[in-house]
Amino acid sequence: MGNRKLVIVGAGGFAREVKWLAADITASTTTDESYEFVGYVVSDLGNTSPYDSTDEILGDFSWLRDNPDAFDCLAMGIGNAAPRLKVADELEGMFGVEKTAALWPAMVHPSAHFDLTTAKIGPGVQICASVIGTVNLEFEPFAMVNLACTLGHEAVLRRACTLNPTVNISGGVDIGVGALIGTGAQILQYLKVGKGAVVGGGSVVTKDVADDTLVVGIPAKAR
């Protein structure tokens, strides 16, 4: 596959974790993927925070248009589901949906373990360290699974949904487009979490969650 020049979209804490993810993939002896970190880009240079790696920001999204030879691929460095979805849509519009597969590689940490022969993994997916899954998993484009999550059989993670660390997804669960599952939450078997929904950290979901709904608690209830 060769060494690919990588630009990460976003410059905060999760963007730095994606930089580490790329470095671990590059250092692994179990894959031929290799990345050379170029820098970060952000949507708005005037809206950076003290938590951003400002010394490594290349520019805003116009930098991508103006410097097409400076990078080979992109990785999403945004860990919150709603802006992750928004930026994915914006950049697909900029570059064309037909270029998504080549431009946004799926990035799976070498320590993640699940049945790759039955998994479907879309462009821009990120699966972080110590994730454990089983069989027939489906990851739609830009879905993200953070550290030490567990995924049951036939789980479906739809576009740009985000699982924070140590989430447990039981078999047959369907996580909707742009949904956010908070740290340590559990989703019981064959349930559906709707588009844009938010499950609070530590919650236990025992019934379907409607679109654009926040649920918290044990059992999780709408707020």
Domain extent listing, the chain: 3-77, 106-215
Q: Which tokens hold the place of 73?
A: 């691929």
Task: Report the CATH architecture of 3-77.
Answer: 3-Layer(aba) Sandwich (3.40)
34-41, strands of its sheet edge to edge? 57-59, 34-41, 3-9, 73-76
What is the structure's pLDDT at 91?
98
Topology of the domain comprising 106-215: UDP N-Acetylglucosamine Acyltransferase; domain 1 (2.160.10)
Work out whether strand 214-216 and strand 221-222 pair parallel, antiparallel, or are unpaired. Answer: antiparallel
pLDDT in tens, the chain (223 residues): 579 999 999 999 999 999 999 999 999 988 889 999 999 999 999 999 999 999 999 999 999 999 999 999 999 999 999 999 999 999 999 999 999 999 999 999 999 999 999 999 999 999 999 999 999 999 999 999 999 999 999 999 999 999 999 999 999 999 999 999 999 999 999 999 999 999 999 999 999 999 999 999 999 999 9
